[in-house]
Structure 1
């Protein structure tokens, strides 16, 4: 059923911006120090002034006009109004008042109050912190804006160097470690087969391919990371399949990149202090996240599996690798339909092809600043259709008759059994 939508207003944001202009200079200086780290705009440092006999006041940069941080407890947030204005998105709120959809024809963002689930450009994402409300405003944590939303709405802005020439493929498990299993076969063999089928596809695209294992042997996690870290101009893709005893109907694809420092992983129900202060992040976490988005859009664009989302974890192979890294879960061996499909060599070839397309799209982003294809574009391409998702300018208003359907934000719980080969 389609939900009736009402127009979302941004008047409160404009009032706040006007009020800031009349703040005393001292407050403006303090705000400058607070806002400057979040600004995504490039700026040039002014040359140092020549020494003067009369001590001068220390110069301060003016506050960024783009972002107005809102402090809630110890955490920084930004309003959905502020996000919409910066990215030039128009907004609608559903009739419950809990879900807002922002859209400009090029990017789409759906957020739900008190939820960590978000839809970005048609794909489910798991935020580090829930969306909250304060003073009648939806608020998104600063870390989620910087680490999850920004890389997808403006992927070309991610700082990168070099090229993507080598792909390290990591078929999960092996040897005595069978991983998950079904009546048709084991995860270790399926993962190895997908990697073997993926290798020639990547080589045909001009990539060099390194395999952490090429046959049925056990490779310790630290050795897998060491193999990856010995490569240059490279990315790391670990291939796995899922299983759970808690919910035998759980199905679908999901993908992981390393959890940012100062944030909980997707599976963490509550934020413990050690997650915030002790867990290290990665200098390439933005690149890893964008790699996960490029690959996941391709997976779902080629294969109509359930979207379990782009997630965060501190699995050992993600934590110990120093290059952009992702871990792919290609369906559930514990679910009847998924397990039958995974057992089909032709289906596994299709999965390998989807991974290859996603990796190639990531390379085009790094080397050509070409935006990766989205799930809707892959599906339209497969159907021989033309899709318009990259408008030159945003529409004057959202189409309100009929209103676009709200994408469900409830993901079936799995309580999946922890994989010993991916434990933190």
Structure 2
């Protein structure tokens, strides 16, 4: 199996002042072929961490179950850390959640090919992402709320309205899928979003229900396929990588803006990372799309934060800032 020709990439991740903080600076060998040796296990294709490192010119280092792919260079350091048995991957401080945990077979660390193509590659090779052109319009979809989500319609709507003001001040057109506290059917919101022409991005503002005891912020790039995202046959087309780029921009903004000096603070946000999501209705969107879950009002700690107007304004600002990063990076 041969790869596409490797190209030259640039970007910065980990510098809070940079626009491209969610991109990794990888430079691979120009115009070369690469022979992969996939391992088939339980119906999935896996690729070794060593081969992945060689493809992206990253050095493999191991410490017990912990795996590191690194590139040390002046102002262009890359650090990717994973752990055998865990789906969590941290790229220069930004947390991603794989669908399939990292495994070990015959003392060789393996990563599923779908996680490589869906998560790692769009971040490592952003210039290969195809978008619909220059970003002109941002579609904000505030959750309608309900007791099952531990939230109310007005909470997400207020954050969306604040983000809309920020985005309009930046020169973007903004479409709100609802502008009143009442619920609007998902199909109706989908219809409104798909009526937008030209370059657009969809951001759903959500609250988690907390049924699994998890509080914090997570960002979910949408899967654009009829099957569940755990299926290795998932085909996202052009929108999958662009949605991952959009999620990376917004989540990195949020993680930077909401991080306290002390990570041990119990009264601040918890980073649940970036994890792809599937929605039967919104998988029919024709624009790159994410769900930005800003917390859980049924959790006492999150509820305390989310009652604070300044905190909500910061959430809104992280959306507008993340959109700017996405535009600047994919519009190059």
Interval containing the TM-score (normalised by the shorter chain): 0.7 to 0.9
Q: Which residue of 1 aligns with 2:70?
A: 103
Contact 1:170–1:224 (Cα < 8 Å) also in 2: yes
Within 2, Cα distance between the matches of 1:316 and 1:155?
27
Q: Which residue of 2 aligns with 1:302?
A: 257
Moved over 3 A (4+): 177-181, 259-265, 279-283
Q: Which runs of 5+ in 1 are unaligned?
A: 1-34, 43-63, 266-270, 369-424
Contact 1:258–1:282 (Cα < 8 Å) also in 2: no
- Matching residue within 323, 328, 332 for 1:364: 328
- Matching residue within 120, 125, 137 for 1:154: 125
Q: Which residue of 2 aligns with 1:119?
A: 90
Contact 2:220–2:291 (Cα < 8 Å) also in 1: yes
Within 1, Cα distance between the matches of 2:148 and 2:182?
13
Within 1, Cα distance between the matches of 2:69 and 2:216?
26
Deviations 1:309-328 (A, max 9, x none): 11122124531211100001
1:167-178 paired onto structure 2 within 5 Å: 167-173=138-144, 177=146
Q: Which residue of 1 aligns with 2:12?
A: none
- Matching residue within 62, 66, 75 for 2:34: 66
Deviations 1:162-209 (A, max 9, x none): 1100000011115xx46633xxxx431110000111111001111000
1:2-401 paired onto structure 2 within 5 Å: 35-36=1-2, 38-41=3-6, 65-73=33-41, 74-94=43-63, 97-105=64-72, 106-173=77-144, 177=146, 180-181=149-150, 186-232=151-197, 233-247=199-213, 250-259=214-223, 264-265=228-229, 275=231, 281-304=236-259, 305-368=269-332
Deviations 1:220-257 (A, max 9, x none): 1111111111112101000011232452xx32110112
Q: CA deviation at 1:217?
A: 2.1
Contact 2:148–2:209 (Cα < 8 Å) also in 1: no
Contact 2:224–2:278 (Cα < 8 Å) also in 1: no
Q: Secondary structure at the match of 1:108?
A: strand
Within 1, Cα distance between the matches of 2:93 and 2:324?
20
Q: Secondary structure at the match of 2:149?
A: coil
Q: CA deviation at 1:293?
A: 0.9
Q: 1:352 to 1:137 in 2, by over 3 A?
A: same
Within 2, Cα distance between the matches of 1:280 and 1:156?
19
Q: Which runs of 5+ in 2 are unaligned?
A: 8-31, 260-268
Q: 1:335 to 1:142 in 2, by over 3 A?
A: same
Contact 2:130–2:238 (Cα < 8 Å) also in 1: no
Within 2, Cα distance between the matches of 1:156 and 1:130?
27
Q: Secondary structure at the match of 2:138?
A: strand
Within 1, Cα distance between the matches of 2:196 and 2:110?
41
Query: TM-score, normalising length from structure 1?
Result: 0.64
Query: TM-score, normalising length from structure 2?
Result: 0.81
Within 1, Cα distance between the matches of 2:163 and 2:190?
20
Q: Which residue of 2 aligns with 1:57?
A: none
